[in-house]
Amino acid sequence: MFKGPIPALVTPFTPEGGVDKKAFLELAAWTIGQGVGGIVPCGTTGESPTLSHDEHHLVVELAVEAAKGKVPVIAGAGSNSTAEAIELTRHAKKAGADAVLIVTPYYNKPTQEGLYLHYKAINDAVEIPVIIYNIPGRCVIDMSVETMARLSLLPNIAGVKDATNDLGRVLKTKRACKDGFCLLTGEDGTQLPFLAQGGGGCISVTANVAPKLLSDMHAAFAKGDIVSAMSINERLMPLHEALFIETNPAPIKYAVSLLGKGRPDVRLPLAPISEGAKEKVKAAMAHAGLI
């Protein structure tokens, strides 16, 4: 259903601190033109925790406008409030998004049954494909393969963005879930081995600045040109690492600014990256041939 590199787009801000609509549209259009498999507005990389509801709605609408039906839009619509997640999902469908990305509820720490009921409520409320976002490092909870398999039987639960960094889980999930369940990694550095284990693509931070290279890597793998895919992967690995040297999305917003595609500003409580981190990001961008 969804495949290839799919940038989790940053949300550029104006000097006054609002959403920079022009910069967002240009960034989205540029990545699409570089061959990505879709775009994700309002994910963690898009600073969804600090966007107001009006801003969140706006960014999803801008993404649909930029995509123009050329690639799917997977709109971030998660919340640790089920009612809020349903509202954001309803808006995404109304705006024309092709799917939603729903993060496991953070802070509340629901049980596996609570996770099941959360996603079932969204499945029952809105007819739109739902991608589960499992990221224990940020949310503290980890959805089990068994719970995911149970959810995969629901008609609108379409796949997972797996950010567990557990490559053994890919095949376990594939075997446990329904046929056609979409497997996407949320860890840039695992893209190639994830594909080798049966995954379909990556919701990617790095694709904000290296969409063409990642598109080429996925295409090479699909054609069986493993040597070329590995070469690109090795070229990008220092960048994958540098973009998480401090809390995402501060490093990627700085990297985007090096390409002249948006300001590096992030909203509090995130802070701009340190001078030392800037040098490492800049060096990694240069190593990849992007600057």
Positions marked catalytic: 133, 161
State how far the alpha carbon of 221 is from the alpha carbons of 31, 164, 184, 186, 243, in Å: 20, 22, 15, 18, 24
- In angstroms, rounded to a whole number, what is the distance separating the alpha carbons of residues 248 and 246? 6
Identify the helix (H) or strand (E) that includes residue 6: strand 4-7
Q: What would the two tokens of residue 127 be? A: 């007819």
Residues 85/118, Cβ–Cβ less than 8 Å: yes
Beta bridge partners of 19: 13
Contact between 106 and 80 (Cβ < 8 Å)? yes
- CA-to-CA distance for 92 and 64, rounded, in angstroms? 9
Closest CA to 148 of 165, 133, 126: 133
